[in-house]
Amino acid sequence: FPFLSLVAEVCCGLFMILILSRFWLLAVLYLLWLYLDWETPCTGGRRSQWVRSWTVWKYFREYFPIHLVKTSDLSPDHNYLLGFHPHGVLVAGAFGNFCTGPSFKNLFPGLTPYLHIMPIWFGCPFFREYIMSAGMVSASKESVSYVLNNEKGGHASIIVIGGAEESLNAHPGSLTLNILKRKGFIKMALKHGAHLVPVFSFGENELFKQVANPKGSWLRNVQEKMQKIMGFALPLFHARGVFQYSFGLIPYRQPIHTVVGSPIPVKRNLNPTTEEIEQLHALYLQKLRKLFEEHKRNYGIPEHKSLIF
């Protein structure tokens, strides 16, 4: 989330101003609150329907526009782990569909979505309160387990499987997914008996143009090293400006259709073997590819194009 970084920096700046001002006592009290509230992002967060319903998010969704597409019912009697693909630069489909507006609730009544993001964002003063109010929680194992451990069902963990590393592949037309070595989410689904649901967001990679960074290039090597050090990637991207379309940081107006696939039933297995994880991972890849192939014609993907794992 490169734009989250900008907002987080602003929040940190405001906190520093508060510390250095005559209102320093408020900053100290907030630090105490931060200490006492530190585990909340790993225990379901603290969502606010008021924040999730802000009018600004309506304009955000209509700008591209962003659509959520249902292909199958998801019973609220189960918990689900939704694998979101691809990461893109902005992850606009995940935020727009699962953190704002009524689309998810209307299409999947009885389910509560939790978008998991990197734990580092929850260490930022003030900013953490905002992202939790939007329905975001930590992507740590403890957090995912907390969401999926709801005995009554009705919880949906949304994980951007490719992670920050995949954002470096976010070029227009790119269909490369960083998933072959990503099997932790499969293990979590097995341990909690959470049904797996592949999700593909058509148009996610079309929002920005990224500086050429093929594998092995000096730029890609630097980006990958920085990603390992900082925990998040730094794609060099550009798009349009406010009054012109040639250069700027505002994303292009490209439709995003986030298609939610059919659930893969998963039986609870507290100690899955490597073979069992591999089998379910292979099945998930098969279902994800099938979802893409069935819908690609609807969203302008040429017939000869296929996903690259």
Could you report the per-residue pLDDT of 33-53, keeping only the tens digit for each? Answer: 889 999 999 999 999 999 999
Contact 305, 205 (CB under 8 A): no
CATH number at residue 182: 3.40.1130
φ and ψ at residue 93, rounded to 5 degrees: -65, -40
- Residue 309 forms part of a structural domain: no
- The answer to whether position 305 is within a domain reads no
166: in domain: yes
Six-digit token string for 236: 């060099």
7 — pLDDT class (breaks 50, 70, 90):
low
- The answer on pLDDT for 5 being more than 70 is no
306 in a structural domain: no
Residue 177 above 50 pLDDT? yes
Whole-number percent of the chain with pLDDT over 70: 95
Whole-number Cα distances in Å, 64 to 49, 84, 202: 23, 19, 12
Q: Which of 195-199, 210-214, 290-294, 297-301 has the lowest mean pLDDT?
A: 210-214
pLDDT, tens digit, 9 for 90 and up, residues 275-293:
999 999 999 999 999 999 9
DSSP tag of 308: B
Residue of 125, 105, 109 lying closest to 53 (CA atoms): 105
pTM of the entire predicted model: 0.91
pLDDT score of 4: 59
Helices 2-20 & 24-36, crossing angle to 10 degrees?
130
Task: Give 84 or 4, the one with higher predicted confidence.
Answer: 84
The residue segments making up the domain with residue 267 are 1-299
Q: How far apart are CA 251 and CA 239, in angstroms?
A: 5
**CA gap 166, 132 in Å, rounded:** 24
pLDDT at site 187: 97
- Residue 88: closest CA among 7, 169, 157: 169
pLDDT tens digits, one per residue of 63-118: 999 999 999 999 999 999 999 999 999 899 999 999 999 999 999 999 999 999 99
Task: Give domain status of residue 129, yes or no.
Answer: yes
Reported as a single tens digit per residue, the pLDDT across 200-254 is 999 999 999 999 999 899 999 998 888 877 777 778 888 898 888 888 888 999 9
Domain count of the fold of the chain = 1
Task: Give the model's pLDDT for residue 1.
Answer: 47
Concatenating the DSSP letter of every residue in 237-273 gives EE-B-SS-SSS-SBPP---EEEEE---B-----SS--
- CA dist., res. 231 & res. 304, Å (int): 35
* Residue 308 domain-assigned (yes or no): no
Q: 24 or 235, which is more confident?
A: 235
State the burial class of residue 308 (Cβ atoms within 10 Å of its Cβ: 0-12, 13-18, 19+).
Answer: exposed
Q: What is the dihedral of CA 187, 189, 193, 196, to 10 degrees?
A: -140
Averaged pLDDT score across all residues of the chain: 91
Strand pairing category for 195-202 and 209-210: unpaired
Task: Determine the 3-state secondary structure of 124 from DSSP.
Answer: coil
Is 307 part of any domain?
Answer: no
* Domain annotation covers residue 34: yes
pLDDT of residue 16: 72
Q: Tokens at residue 161, please?
A: 């499987």
Give the closest residue to 188 by CA, choosing from 249, 228, 143, 244.
143
Which residue from 244, 111, 246, 86 is spatially nearest to 170, judged by alpha carbons? Answer: 86
**Portion of the chain with pLDDT greater than 90, in percent:** 73
